[in-house]
Structure 1
Amino acid sequence: MSNPTWINAQSRQQGLERLADHTVDVAVVGGGITGVGVALDAASRGLSVALLEGRDLGSGTSGYSSKLVHGGLRYLAKMDLAVAWESAVERHRLMSRTAPHLIHPLAFVIPEMVDTPRGEAALTGTGVGIYDVLRRAARTRGSVLPRPQLLSGPAVSALVPALDPAAVRRGLMYWDGQVDDDVRLVLAVARTAAGLGAHVLRDVRVTEMTGATVAAVDTRTGHSLSVRAGAVVNATGVWAADFAPELAVTASRGTHLVVRSERLGHPRAAHTVAVPGRFGRYVFVLPQPSGYVYIGLTDEEDRISDGHRPTVPDQDVEFLLGIVNTTLGAPLTREDVVGTFAGLRPLVRPAGTQPDAGTADISRRHLVRDVPGEPITVVGGKLTTYRRMAQDAVDAAAARLGVDRRSRTARMPLVGAAGPAELAGVTAPRRMVDRYGTEAARVQALARDEPWLGDEIVEGTGFTGAELLFGVQAEGAATVEDLLARRTRLAFVPEDAERARDVAERVLELAAGTRPAGVVHTQRTSGAER
């Protein structure tokens, strides 16, 4: 059973063979959300495309975000109206048409504590009001993102039980978009591009690029390859300056803590905690469908971490716990933190900015650098605005190619996308529909011949072996790490990842044909052992 959108070992080999003796219109370097977005935009214009990624899709910054598709409330506080408006427009497109199966409304509560200055509360209310004006101007309906509302103290406590009720005066609730899994968005964009003919090749490490050529190494075989293209796009994120030294790219580390939902009373809404002395900057407490809560995030320059899995320093953990504990009835301790993760944001430092200026003050606007004879570089921006970043980069590539083809991605549904009625009719559990959309039944059907694939991998997480197998068959997964760190997010909690390792290994053996059919899987752990 195959599909033109599937990315796997077979499609990879076919792509490598094609590139050996053919020139493509656009070669994209980087398999994060920006790179796959460029590949999709170019392929949707009828251009031939090759995307090269040195590791796994979404293995860098794009896999370690806050899982938010937001309209940029914090940018209003910075008076960066252009970014806030662009974010609101792109959020609307994602939630209304492009990926409504992956992105869902999330309620945010801004608690007004008894010691919150009245003036600060008034400014926050004004900001949320303007934020809602942007929502309506972007034509996002109230059925998708409801309008804000004032909450009484008891209503705040009902939504966010962990807050100290004696310290809460009242609250303000607004709505934003949450992507249950940011890597699922990367994979959906990449597979949609593949369905339009793009060659999506992972484990191809680029060593050099010019405006028309890319030199790389196939890390699976060690063989060198050269890709010829009408235009080359550098979408390597925090590594962009390695191929464009003139750029001043600053890496900002965004750290998150992972806490079990029951420790915070199973919150029904996210909530924000103001960072003292930094108006407009908050720590977010974000409930996840997986039964965990993410607490983040920091915004610190990081010049030494590996962009694929940055180290989380102790000071980040202490900072986040210190801020969030100012509002909790029962403060969190280090023992409550069952996992951590961080991503490095690639920020473009404008000319004239002081080198020691904080990364929180650098704009999230993106940059497209187009210098004749050099690769087109697209960098900066944020997850929500990836599509617009890609459109601008491909506009530059189309100009180099001398073709007049407009972007089509603003109204193009990603693989698995559908309207509410069609998604409601998919015969699969809601959790799987929220991850795979219209493909959920196909994923579930993989357990038909191998019933053990239908078992939950780690009790309470919802993930099944069938999802791992689909990750190998259709989404390019090739290793245990791919399956546990990105096709699921079990690696965010090391204890869960260790429990799932055996199943992941069995799935890889099954996919490779080295494991006999009919093997019965016995789950090694239970909730009682957790």
Structure 2
Amino acid sequence: MANPTWLNDDTRARSLDRVAGHTVDVAVVGGGITGAGVALDAASRGLSVALVESGDLASGTSGYSSKLVHGGLRYLAKMDFAVAWESAVERRWLMERIAPHLVHPLAFVIPDARSAPAWEGLAAGFGTVLYDGLRRASGLRSSVLPRPQLLTPAAVAALAPALDVAGLRRGYLYWDGQLVDDARLVFAVARTAAGLGAHILRDVRAVAVGADRVDAVDVRTGAPLAVRARTVVNATGVWAAGFDPALTVTPSRGTHLVVRAERLGLPHAAHTVAVPGHFGRYVFVLPQPGGLVYIGLTDEEDRTADGHRPPVPEHDVEFLLGIVNATLAVALVRDDVVGAFAGLRPLAEAAHGDGFDGTADISRRHLVTDVPGAPITVVGGKLTTYRRMAQDAVDAAAARLGAGAGVGAGIRPCRTRTLPLVGAAGPAQLKSLAAPPRLVAKYGTEAVHVHRLGQEERILREPLFDGTDITGAELLFGVRAEGACTVADLLERRTRLSFVPEDAQKARERAGEILAMAAGK
């Protein structure tokens, strides 16, 4: 019997047939984290759901974030307490109940340089104490995210060897959540929704969106598709204003550089660098699985870039290198940058107004618009708060459905705060799984299935190329269970090999072979 959470070409075909002949309660437009969250929330309340996405899941902003699940230290600095509190609460649910297999603690070092005014270091230390207060108030235990600490320069060097510790007074250590992969969170949310009956339709492009109908086109065949629904939710992120003329969305480009971890001394912790002249704005140096480090991010308005894969301008590279090099013992040079990626944040400018510091000063609060005769729109926010965004959008949809003739009587209240995603389990169960820890960190309880796939054939067992641990089994699972159907899907989102073009090129031929194997069942 097929796993009901799996997404692949067969489940897509069945969903297309079903949606073409039936009216659903909720149609969702957009397959990023917000749209997937809306689909899951609605399906978990007992509503019938169809989600349409023009390309691959997580192919827009949701796949190109900093991969952090954070309580919002920068929002405290900006005195945006509402966003900081909402972020802290949602971080708790993600780390304890929803996705403990995908979100892990990450240590952050704030270096206190002697060259900076003493008050800046004291303010940073006080901020970590306040931040920990948010953690405690949210109910997240210190056994999940430890308390902050004061560090000696020697302790800073042990955690972040590339820092120039000779010029430090001290360091401050705090902890936050890090996703093993942001795209993997989107897949898990969408698959959990599918397991509850939601129809997840990738490669279906919406061309017109109304209050009770989505006119779309099957990108693969060119065939038209009318999705009839009792209510429609627009969750298209930076494209949201295209379906809601009353809305203004400001796209903000967030760029990250990719360097090899060896170049930074194989750091055990992230570190932050304050952006001079911009209080509360930081650049992060973020260690990643697989021997890489991401350096980001920028916050620049960009109304012309393609939201699926915005190009990285050279001045973004220069800006990030310039900021981070101010803290390093040996400066990074352009050749150390082995890759770069960017995403466009959808900031709801009409709701919150612009700030003194451009897009960096626009609040990260989300916006839900509910105008009679138009689709419900949910936009803004941040990856950490996707669940709350979805809850608010589905609350609005449920109110509309409840106003119908008996439709809303059986709608259950939101239950996604404590609804585990596919693969989720507690630490004890995850440690007991008969699979390599690397797979467990990526797939949770499903690591056992991926590991068994690797035993079937040599091509599935072996790493894709020398220098990576990623195997053919992971690619095959990406096709069978996670909706991948092209080599680009496999290299860009089921793995993140595309973040280092040299590595992606090495894996391209093997990815094609795995794709052909999957097509042959």
Question: Aligned equivalents of 2:270 and 2:352: distance in 1?
Answer: 37
Q: CA deviation at 1:447?
A: 2.3
**Which residue of structure 2 lines up, in the alignment, with residue 506 of structure 1?**
513
What residue number does 2:494 align with?
Answer: 487
Percent sequence identity over aligned pairs: 70
Q: CA separation of 1:39/1:113 partners in 2, compared to 1, >3 Å: closer, same or farther? A: same
Q: Which stretches of structure 1, 4 residues or longer, exceed 4 Å deviation after superposition?
A: 354-357
1:213 corresponds to: 213
Q: What does residue 448 of structure 2 align with?
A: 441
Closer, same or farther: CA 355–175 of 1 in aligned 2, 3 Å = closer
1:102-141 equivalent positions in 2, closer than 5 A: 102-141=102-141
Q: State the AA in 1 paired with 2:49.
A: V
**Contact persistence 1:233–1:377 (CA under 8 A):** yes
Cα deviation 1:485-522 (Å, max 9, x = unaligned): 000000000000000001110011101118xxxxxxxx
Match of 2:15 in 1: 15
In the superposition, relative to structure 1, how do residues 357 and 167 fare at CA in structure 2: closer, same or farther (>3 Å)?
A: closer
Residues 98-151 of structure 1: CA distance to partner in whole angstroms, max 9, x if unpaired?
Answer: 000000000000000111211111111111111100000111111100000000
Contact 2:32 2:60 in 1 (8 A): yes
Equivalents in 2 of 1:408, 1:156: separation in Å? 42
Is the contact made by 1:35 and 1:235 (CA closer than 8 Å) also made in structure 2?
yes
Q: Which residue of 1 aligns with 2:283?
A: 283
TM-score (norm 2): 0.97
- State the distance in 1 between where 2:437 and 2:261 align: 20
- Amino acid across the alignment from 2:425: A
Code of the aligned partner of 1:289: P
> In the alignment, which residue of structure 2 is the partner of 1:190?
190
Q: Pick from 466, 471, 483: which aligns with 1:459?
A: 466
Q: Are 1:325 and 2:329 matched, yes or no?
A: no
2 CA distance for matches of 1:326 and 1:356? 25
Counterpart secondary structure, 1:338? strand
Distance 1:357 1:139 in 2: 33
- Report the Cα distance in structure 1 between the residues aligned to 2:248 and 2:445, rounded to whole angstroms: 42
2:75 aligned partner: 75
1:494–1:152 Cα change, 3 Å: same
Opposite residue 100 of structure 1, the aligned amino acid is P
Cα deviation for residue 357 of structure 1 reads 5.6
Equivalent AA in structure 2 for residue 488 of structure 1: T
Q: Cα distance, 1:207 vs. partner?
A: 0.2
How many angstroms does 1:353 deviate by? 3.3
Name the aligned partner's letter for residue 70 of structure 2.
Answer: H
For structure 1, the residue ranges without an aligned partner over 5 or more in a row are: 515-530
How many equivalent pairs are there?
Answer: 514
Q: Aligned partners of 1:354, 1:461: CA distance in 2, in Å?
A: 44
The alignment partner of 2:444 has SS state of: helix
> What does 1:368-383 align with in structure 2 at a 5 Å threshold?
368-383=368-383
SS across alignment from 2:400: helix
Contact 2:8 2:484 in 1 (8 A): yes
Matched with 2:234 is 234
> Where does residue 528 of structure 1 map in the other structure?
none
Whether the 8 Å CA contact 2:352–2:362 is kept in 1: the answer is no
**Alpha-carbon shift at residue 446 of structure 1 (Å):** 1.2
Aligned pair in 2 of structure 1 residues 166, 54: CA closer, same or farther (>3 Å)? same
8 Å contact kept, 1:291–1:461: no
Which residue matches 1:247? 247
Report Cα offsets for 1:2-36 as digits up to 9, x if no partner: 20000001110000000111000000000000000
Structure 1 counterpart of 2:175, one-letter code: W
- Partners of 1:39 and 1:204 in 2: CA distance: 16
Partner SS for 2:217: strand
Task: Rate the CA distance shift 1:126–1:212 in 2: closer, same or farther, 3 A.
Answer: same
Contact 1:285 1:294 in 2 (8 A): yes
Deviates more, 1:170-179 or 1:446-455: 446-455
Question: SS at the partner of 2:208?
Answer: strand
* Contact 1:458/1:499 (<8 A) preserved: yes
Given residue 232 of structure 2, which amino acid in structure 1 is its aligned partner?
Answer: V
Give how far 1:297 is off.
0.1
- Counting only pairs closer than 5 Å after superposition, residues 32-43 of structure 1 correspond to structure 2 as 32-43=32-43
Conserved 8 A contact 1:111-1:170: yes
Q: Go from structure 1 to structure 2 and tell me whether the alpha carbon gap of 1:415 and 1:396 turns closer, same or farther (over 3 Å shift).
A: same
- In the alignment, the residues of structure 2 paired with residue 461 and residue 188 of structure 1 have an alpha-carbon distance, to the nearest angstrom, of 24
Between the aligned partners of 1:2 and 1:171, the Cα distance in structure 2 is 52
Distance 2:260 2:519 in 1: 35
Residue 263 of structure 1: how far off its partner (Å): 0.2
What per-residue deviation string (whole Å, max 9, x for no partner) do you get for residues 295-352 of structure 1? 0000000011000000100100000000000011100000000000000000011458
What is the alpha-carbon distance in structure 1 between the residues aligned to residue 60 and residue 352 of structure 2?
A: 29
Paired letter, 2:392: D
- For residues 143 and 133 of structure 2, the distance between their equivalents in structure 1, rounded to whole angstroms, comes to 15
SS in 1 for 2:185: helix
Q: What is the CA distance between 1:255 and its match in structure 2?
A: 0.1
Q: Pick which of 291-300 and 161-170 moved more.
A: 161-170
Structure 2 residue matching 1:130: 3-state secondary structure? helix
Distance 2:112 2:14 in 1: 58
> What is the CA-CA distance between 1:356 and the residue it aligns to?
8.4
Residue number in structure 2 paired with 1:474? 481
> What is the distance in 2 between the residues matched to 1:148 and 1:458?
40
Q: Is the 8 A contact 1:416 1:436 kept in 2?
A: yes
Structure 1 residues 285-434: aligned runs within 5 Å: 285-350=285-350, 353=353, 358-402=358-402, 403=408, 404-434=411-441
Contact 2:352 2:363 in 1 (8 A): no
2:405 corresponding residue in structure 1: none
C-alpha distance in 2 between matches for 1:363 and 1:461: 39
Over 3 Å counting, the alpha-carbon distance change for 1:355 and 1:272 in structure 2 is: closer
Once the two structures are TM-superposed, the CA of residue 471 in structure 1 deviates from its matched residue by 0.4
Decide whether the 8 Å contact of 1:291 with 1:460 is kept in 2.
no
Distance apart, 1:478 and its partner CA: 0.3
- 2: distance between equivalents of 1:435 and 1:373? 42
Q: 161-170 vs 46-55, which deviates more?
A: 161-170
Amino acid at match of 1:423: L
Contact 1:310/1:343 (8 A) holds in 2? yes
The residue type equivalent to 1:359 in the other structure is T
| Alpha-carbon distance in 1 for matches of 2:351, 2:344 | 21
Distance 2:356 2:283 in 1: 23
Displacement after TM superposition at 1:168 (Å): 1.7
Match of 2:26 in 1: 26
| Aligned residues of 1:398 and 1:405 also touching (Cα < 8 A) | no
Deviation at 1:451, TM superposition (A): 2.2
